[in-house]
């Protein structure tokens, strides 16, 4: 088992990662009867996408001798109404690219574009990903 999720009531869940004991709480968003005091379940999906992309890129970058520390990812979620679901996720990755040549940038971007979370998403979901190599 990977995790244990407990419904706490009032549209809030507590999620425990069993290996580490780390806890994440979720809350329904304010536009869906929640308090919006924590990440919503759909927010966590978008964040999972962003962290999967940069983590898999980081694995490969380490093998290539490239440091990606300090990378930030801006995440924007767009919901659709009928049925209620995520319709589009916009991601802008700000990567330290001063010393990364075009060939290595392309390799790393391909890794990000093919991370396990990307491959697990429904093909109707629109992904708008921008890689901004800075420095």
The domains of the chain, with CATH numbers, are: 3-32 (no CATH), 41-134 (3.30.300.20)
Per-residue pLDDT band for 43 (boundaries 50, 70, 90) equals: very high
Query: pLDDT tens digit string along 65-88?
Result: 999 999 999 999 999 999 999 999
Half-sphere exposure of 23 (CA within 13 A, CB side): 6
Q: Coil, helix or strand for 112?
A: helix
Residue in the block written with tokens 């890794």: 111
User: How far from 68 is each of 7, 13, 18, 75, 106, CA to CA, in Å?
Assistant: 37, 33, 28, 18, 14
User: How far from 119 is each of 2, 61, 115, CA to CA, in Å?
Assistant: 20, 20, 6
pTM comes to: 0.95
Residue 46 tokens read as: 């978008």
């Amino acid at each position: 088992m990977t995790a244990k999720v407990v419904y706490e009531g009032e549209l809030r869940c507590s999620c425990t990662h069993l290996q580490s004991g780390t806890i994440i709480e979720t809350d329904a968003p304010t536009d869906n009867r929640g308090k919006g005091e924590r990440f919503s379940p759909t927010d966590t999906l978008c964040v999972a996408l962003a962290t999967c992309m940069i983590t898999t890129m980081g694995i490969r970058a380490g093998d290539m001798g490239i440091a990606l520390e300090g990378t930030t990812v801006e995440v924007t979620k767009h919901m659709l109404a009928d049925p209620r679901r995520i319709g589009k996720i916009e991601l802008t990755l700000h990567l330290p690219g001063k010393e990364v040549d075009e060939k290595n940038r392309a390799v790393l971007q391909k890794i990000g574009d093919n991370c396990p979370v990307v491959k697990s998403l429904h093909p109707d979901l629109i992904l708008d990903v921008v890689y901004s190599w800075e420095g």
